[in-house]
Amino acid sequence: MASPSDARSDSVGLQRFGLGFALGQSAEIRTAPRDRLLAEIDRGMPPQPAGVPFSGAAEIGSALYAFEDRERIEREARRVGETKVAAAAPAPVAGQNQMAQPKPVNEPALPYKTYRGEVLARVRLALEAETGFGERLVQFWSNHFCIGATKSNMTRIMAGAYEREAIRPHVFGRFEDMLVAAESHPAMLDFLDNRLSIGPRSPVGKRRGRGLNENLAREILELHTLGVSGGYSQIDVTNLARIITGWTVVGREAVLGFPGSFAFNAGLHEPGAPPLLGRHYGEAGKAQGLAAFRELSRHPATADFIAMKLVRHFVADEPPPALMTEISAVFRRTEGDLAAVSRALIESNAAWRAEPTKIRSPQEFLLAAFRALGRKPDFGQINGPLNAMGQPFWQPSGPNGYPDSNDAWASAEGVKTRIDVAAGWGRQAAGSVPDPRALTEDILGPLLSPETRQSVARADSKPQALALMLMSPEFQRR
Amino acid sequence: MVDDDDDCERMTPSRRAILGAAGALFAWSFVPKFAYAAAGSRDPRFLLVVLRGALDGLSAVPPIGDPDYAALRDDIALMKDGPDAALPLDGFFYLHPAMPNLARLYASGQASVVHAAATGYRERSHFDGQDVLESGQAGPGKTESGWLNRLIANLPPGEGISQRGVLGVGVAPPLVARGEAPVLGWAPPRMARAGSDLIQRLGDLYGQRDPGLARALSQAVTTEGIARRSGMSGEAKGGGGPDSADGMKRIAEGAAALVGADDGPRIAALAFEGWDTHANEGGAKGRLAQLLGGLDGALASFEQGLKPVWKDTVVMVVTEFGRTARVNGTVGTDHGTGTVAFLVGGAVKGGRMIVDWPGLKPEQLYEKRDLKPTTDIRAVAKGVVSELFGLSGPVLAEKVFPGSGGIGPMAGLVG
């Protein structure tokens, strides 16, 4: 029999590591929540979203290029006053028939339409999840290795596929595999410009007089592996940029593979074995980058950096040092086995019993609220509030991803905007949920304070009662 | 809270802290308009604009007179003649053609350009660079508070400016505005606003249960009151983000309305994004040109929105560092060091280039790749705020920009 304080920390634990209680779920989910989370790790990879517009990046690439070609032709046609656009369009290629149809009025362009479908499928999965731990880890890693959908058509159309292909399969797998999958994904190669980077002494570099772009290399060291104080220099940045020259995206001519898929182009690759962190990599071609990534993924600075970010994300803005040390040690010992790392986090009493101080991020808040209210939102009902609160899917303002602190999310304007959003959700859900007092007891369970209970009970309307529950400190902090 | 007009003169630090306490949550609506400064003295306004992503100073303010400029810049070099000619500043430096408003302000003595400037940070991480720029610390890793917030916290007790707090624009306020002193928040509205009864009930609940949320909410309510009294409708929704010309304009208009209000904050921080031009940066036209056009439009919005107090206003535009002097392999520029900063406003002693030009020959570049910084941004910031707000050298060197004792405030920036 759990003591009241155990029951409370179990409920905090579920909110800390999961997505909150869903309408109609509460009684059962509160039994042995820690065992549930551990069982989720044992089951392995979280499910993939269903019903997405395209299966993967390779399929998306062809569609994107066809879309861009069509756009260009339409633009040119407009410029010369040509009205019969259809006549100028290329003959439809098999499998791209939908591209040859005229675009219906008010239909968003293909990249945005695809993004919309990906967001919807992604959110549906999170609303259906039992605890939501796997989905939280997908969010965490997706933000760690973030891309930004606003950069280009390619990052917009591939944002969801990137998460499905590079992140989700590895959240209970190996860090090294996730690192390679992320850095070799066309969305990342486009987002941080490596697809354009050319070794100055490569065959193409010598012929065209073009050269390096060190954007991706720098962020790999600074944001994806070692961390900014991980002990690398400008030389290491430039040399890693040399090592990963040739990691690029197949163009529309499909010379090296499916259009829009990853390819290693030897013609762009800088010859030689420039030192990275004092070590030379003699491997040829793509293997040189893979060897460098293996080394980076096993570097102690990487283990410390990942441990710090995980503990900061799940436990506290000021991560407890002992817990970081513990998680880093597991990362090192297992060479980045993320199932073992996740297990260590859940099993740690320090992580499980810490007071709930972190404010839910806007995405967590939205998912928790829709779970609590039993909502099945459409795209606008997801994207509008997330935009207003500053965290739409896959479009942070820079490659460091969305912030992860109360300073950022519990700001004056942030809290005020949340209240506006919660007021809207209260109005929308008032007709479909049971008595708000009963709902509040169900959703917050042992977390519910007398003050919040009283505040909800004294609300002047059902929408207001729901907004008060959603904005209560117990719902906001985890 | 007692609210007689004289009382602000006797404000103690503990009284100022009241603004954040739950008990004061709804007191704003009863606060009469304070007189901020004695008659005859200046009632200054200071707005800090952070350009996130590292502005290419050599494109924003090209040194076309430097014989090495054109070759380094290759495809993206700007010209002093021709259809998209850069705008003349002093015959050696020019301004990007997308910035006609700034050129006009410069010509009329209301804008100065600082060139070859940087903070003390010499690595090339955006995020550490922004932290250093905004925290005002000598190095990265200390991000508990920003220098504008500490500036306010260290104004003499009883100063009306400190009591009004610092405005941090955005759903997440910029680090430079965060800290112990009151932070007012505002962002261009995107949602229908919640009713005041709900706000009041949550204010009560937070007051009983959650001091952090109580403080945030009370500050938001304060700003909203100012916004309403200054006639901002709060109805226009949607629009572009802070990396679009439209978004920059909306942000600038909002900040100007709040800072220009009689009872508004005197100090504000805002951020524009998207300056990380690694590839296809463009020259007179293109990606950077669009962003610079957005910034130029925002400067015009400040001038317009702050018209009655423009003569007492300084807008300072800064970025975390510059970009490589040489164009990179993808017709863009990678992370560099020295760059530009702008001082704009009626209070600026303008029409001047503030620069100790290091030159662009390989051996003159920092690490043979970046524009060498010869002016510390902190000297400029210290010069401006000491003249505007009368902070002493030791306070600036110890509290606002810790460890900057060796970097004196630059004199004569404000007229």
Of B127, B198, B224, the CB nearest to A423: B198
Residue of B167, B324, B330, B366 to mutate, interface with A, max A Cβ within 10 Å: B330
User: Span B61-87, mean pLDDT?
Assistant: 96
Last residue of a domain, one of B238, B256, B271: B238
Q: What is the pLDDT of residue B172?
A: 79
Q: Does residue B132 sit within a domain?
A: yes
Whether the pLDDT of residue B273 is over 80: the answer is yes
The pLDDT profile of chain A, 478 residues, written as one tens digit per residue, is 457 778 899 999 999 999 999 998 867 788 889 999 999 999 999 999 999 989 887 789 999 999 999 999 988 888 887 555 445 455 444 444 444 444 555 678 999 999 999 999 999 999 999 999 999 999 999 999 999 999 999 999 999 999 999 999 999 999 999 999 999 999 999 999 999 999 999 999 999 878 999 999 999 999 999 999 999 999 999 999 999 999 999 999 989 999 999 999 999 999 999 999 999 999 999 999 999 999 999 999 999 999 999 999 999 999 999 999 999 999 999 999 999 999 999 999 999 999 999 999 999 999 999 999 999 999 999 999 999 999 999 999 889 999 999 989 999 999 999 999 999 999 889 888 888 999 999 999 999 999 999 999 998 888 899 999 999 999 999 9
Provide, as residue numbers in chain B, all residues whose Cβ is less than 8 Å from the Cβ of A197.
329-330
Q: Residue B35: count other Cβ atoms within 10 Å of its Cβ.
A: 14
Question: Do B121 and B252 sit in the same domain of this protein?
Answer: yes
Q: Which pair of structure tokens corresponds to residue B247?
A: 């978004």
Q: Residue B202: count other Cβ atoms within 10 Å of its Cβ.
A: 26
DSSP class per residue in A132-173: -HHHHHHHHHHHHT---TTS-HHHHHHHHHHIIIIIGGGTTS
Residues forming beta bridges with residue B314, ordered by sequence position: B46
Question: Do B234 and B150 sit in the same domain of this protein?
Answer: no
Q: Does residue B101 sit within a domain?
A: yes
Provide, as residue numbers in chain A, all residues whose Cβ is less than 8 Å from the Cβ of B330.
193, 196-197, 210, 213
The DSSP secondary-structure symbol of B31 reads P
Q: What is the pLDDT of residue A58?
A: 78
Of B178, B191, B192, the CB nearest to A407: B178
Look at residue B179 and give its three-state secondary structure. coil
B266: which residues sit within 8 A by CB, 6+ positions away?
B36, B43, B44, B45, B46, B161, B164, B259
Question: Do B343 and B377 sit in the same domain of this protein?
Answer: yes
Tell me the pairing of strands B166-169 and B183-186: parallel
Distance of CA A434 to the CA centre of its chain: 33
Q: Does residue B406 sit within a domain?
A: no
Question: Do B94 and B198 sit in the same domain of this protein?
Answer: no
Provide, as residue numbers in chain B, all residues whose Cβ is less than 8 Å from the Cβ of A455.
201, 204-205
The answer to whether residues B33 and B300 touch, using CB atoms and an 8 Å cutoff, is no
Last residue of a domain, one of B213, B238, B263: B238
Whether the pLDDT of residue B10 is over 60: the answer is no
The answer to whether residues B166 and B234 touch, using CB atoms and an 8 Å cutoff, is no
- With CB atoms and an 8 Å threshold, state whether A398 touches B52: yes
| Residues 57-96, chain B, touching A (beta carbon < 8 A) | none
Q: What is the pLDDT of residue A274?
A: 96
Provide, as residue numbers in chain A, all residues whose Cβ is less than 8 Å from the Cβ of B208.
451
Of B209, B328, B335, the CB nearest to A449: B209
Q: What is the pLDDT of residue A29?
A: 84
Domain count, chain B: 2
% of residues, chain A, pLDDT over 90: 82
- Can you list the positions of beta strands (E) in B63-205? 87-88, 94-95, 111-118, 166-169, 183-186
Of B183, B193, B241, the CB nearest to A420: B193
Burial class for A196, CB neighbours closer than 10 Å (0-12, 13-18, 19+):
buried
Could you tell me which chain A residue has the CA closest to the CA of B190?
A388
Whether the pLDDT of residue B3 is over 60: the answer is no
Whether the pLDDT of residue B58 is over 50: the answer is yes
Residues forming beta bridges with residue B47, ordered by sequence position: B268, B315
| Residues 222-261, chain B, touching A (beta carbon < 8 A) | 223-224, 241-243
The answer to whether residues A148 and A226 touch, using CB atoms and an 8 Å cutoff, is no
Could you tell me which chain B residue has the CA closest to the CA of A452?
B205
- With CB atoms and an 8 Å threshold, state whether A417 touches B187: yes
Question: Which range of residues forms the domain containing residue B275?
Answer: 46-188+241-400
A85-125 pLDDT, tens digit per residue, is 445 455 444 444 444 444 555 678 999 999 999 999 999 99
At A341, which amino acid appears?
A: V
A210-235 pLDDT, tens digit per residue, is 899 999 999 999 999 999 999 999 99
Whether the pLDDT of residue B11 is over 70: the answer is no
CA distance B9 to chain A (A): 27
Question: Do B229 and B294 sit in the same domain of this protein?
Answer: no
Rounded CA-CA distance A65/A46 in Å is: 31
Rounded CA-CA distance A145/A167 in Å is: 8
B104: which residues sit within 8 A by CB, 6+ positions away?
none
The answer to whether residues A14 and A131 touch, using CB atoms and an 8 Å cutoff, is yes
DSSP class per residue in B32-82: PPPP-S-TTS---EEEEEEETT---HHHHS--TTSTTHHHHHGGG---SSS
Which H or E run contains A117? helix A110-128
- With CB atoms and an 8 Å threshold, state whether A384 touches B334: no
Question: Do B184 and B65 sit in the same domain of this protein?
Answer: yes
Q: Does residue B23 sit within a domain?
A: no
B117-136 pLDDT, tens digit per residue, is 999 999 999 889 999 999 99
> What own/partner pairs with CB < 8 Å and gap ≥ 24 does A133-137 have?
A133/A17, A133/A18, A133/A37, A133/A40, A133/A41, A133/A342, A133/A346, A134/A40, A134/A46, A134/A171, A134/A172, A135/A19, A135/A46, A135/A367, A136/A17, A136/A18, A136/A19, A136/A364, A137/A46, A137/A171, A137/A172, A137/A342
Q: Distance of CA B6 to CAs B11, B17, B45, Å? A: 9, 18, 22
B334-389 pLDDT, tens digit per residue, is 999 999 999 999 999 999 999 999 999 999 999 999 999 999 999 999 999 999 99
Provide, as residue numbers in chain B, all residues whose Cβ is less than 8 Å from the Cβ of A218.
124-125, 335
Of A387, A413, A472, the CB nearest to B220: A413
- With CB atoms and an 8 Å threshold, state whether A467 touches B278: no
Question: Do B161 and B210 sit in the same domain of this protein?
Answer: no
The answer to whether residues B99 and B298 touch, using CB atoms and an 8 Å cutoff, is no
Question: Do B50 and B107 sit in the same domain of this protein?
Answer: yes
Q: What is the pLDDT of residue B31?
A: 35
Could you tell me which chain B residue has the CA closest to the CA of A362?
B171
Rounded CA-CA distance B236/A45 in Å is: 44
Q: What is the pLDDT of residue B127?
A: 87
Question: Do B219 and B267 sit in the same domain of this protein?
Answer: no
Which H or E run contains A469? helix A462-471
| Alpha-carbon dihedral sign for residues A421, A20, A150, B319 | positive
Q: What is the pLDDT of residue B192?
A: 76
Could you tell me which chain B residue has the CA closest to the CA of A420?
B194
Residue of B74, B328, B335 to mutate, interface with A, max A Cβ within 10 Å: B328
The answer to whether residues A399 and A149 touch, using CB atoms and an 8 Å cutoff, is no
Angle at the Cα of A408 from the Cα atoms of A405 and A413, rounded to 5 degrees: 145
CA distance B329 to chain A (A): 4
Question: Do B168 and B214 sit in the same domain of this protein?
Answer: no
- With CB atoms and an 8 Å threshold, state whether B273 touches A398: yes
- With CB atoms and an 8 Å threshold, state whether B124 touches A218: yes
Question: Do B76 and B208 sit in the same domain of this protein?
Answer: no
Name which of B244, B266, B263, B240 is nearest B255 in CA terms: B266
Rounded CA-CA distance A156/A53 in Å is: 13
B333: which residues sit within 8 A by CB, 6+ positions away?
B56, B58, B59, B277, B278, B281, B323, B324, B326, B327
% of residues, chain B, pLDDT over 70: 87
Q: What is the band of B8 on the pLDDT scale with cuts at 50, 70, 90?
A: very low
Burial class for A376, CB neighbours closer than 10 Å (0-12, 13-18, 19+):
exposed
How many CB pairs below 8 Å do chains A and B form together? 181
- With CB atoms and an 8 Å threshold, state whether B330 touches A197: yes
Q: Does residue B18 sit within a domain?
A: no
- Residue given tokens 């700001």 in the structure block: A411
Angle at the Cα of A392 from the Cα atoms of A387 and A396, rounded to 5 degrees: 110
Whether the pLDDT of residue B22 is over 70: the answer is no
Q: What is the band of B293 on the pLDDT scale with cuts at 50, 70, 90?
A: very high
Q: What is the pLDDT of residue A106?
A: 61
Last residue of a domain, one of B238, B273, B304: B238
Give the ranges where A192-334 is alpha helix by DSSP (H): 203-208, 215-219, 234-243, 286-297, 300-314, 321-333
| Residues 155-214, chain B, touching A (beta carbon < 8 A) | 168, 170-173, 175, 178, 183-187, 190-195, 197-199, 201-202, 204-206, 208-210, 212-213
Provide, as residue numbers in chain A, all residues whose Cβ is less than 8 Å from the Cβ of B337.
none
Q: Does residue B114 sit within a domain?
A: yes
Look at residue A425 and give its three-state secondary structure. helix
Q: What is the pLDDT of residue B207?
A: 96
Q: What is the pLDDT of residue B238?
A: 58
The DSSP secondary-structure symbol of A90 reads P
Name which of B114, B202, B56 is nearest A421 in CA terms: B202
Question: Do B96 and B160 sit in the same domain of this protein?
Answer: yes
CA distance A219 to chain B (A): 8
CA distance B119 to chain A (A): 18
Of B183, B198, B367, the CB nearest to A412: B183
| Residues 357-376, chain B, touching A (beta carbon < 8 A) | 367
Rounded CA-CA distance A188/A145 in Å is: 9
Look at residue A38 and give its three-state secondary structure. helix
B209-259 pLDDT, tens digit per residue, is 999 999 999 988 888 888 777 777 555 555 677 888 988 999 999 999 999
A406-459 pLDDT, tens digit per residue, is 989 999 999 999 999 999 999 889 888 888 999 999 999 999 999 999 999 998
CA distance A45 to chain B (A): 32
State the CATH number of the domain containing residue B99.
3.40.720
When the pLDDT of each residue in chain B is averaged and rounded to a whole number, the result is 87
Provide, as residue numbers in chain A, all residues whose Cβ is less than 8 Å from the Cβ of B241.
150, 397
- With CB atoms and an 8 Å threshold, state whether A452 touches B242: no
Q: Does residue B22 sit within a domain?
A: no
Q: Does residue B300 sit within a domain?
A: yes
Q: What is the pLDDT of residue B23?
A: 32
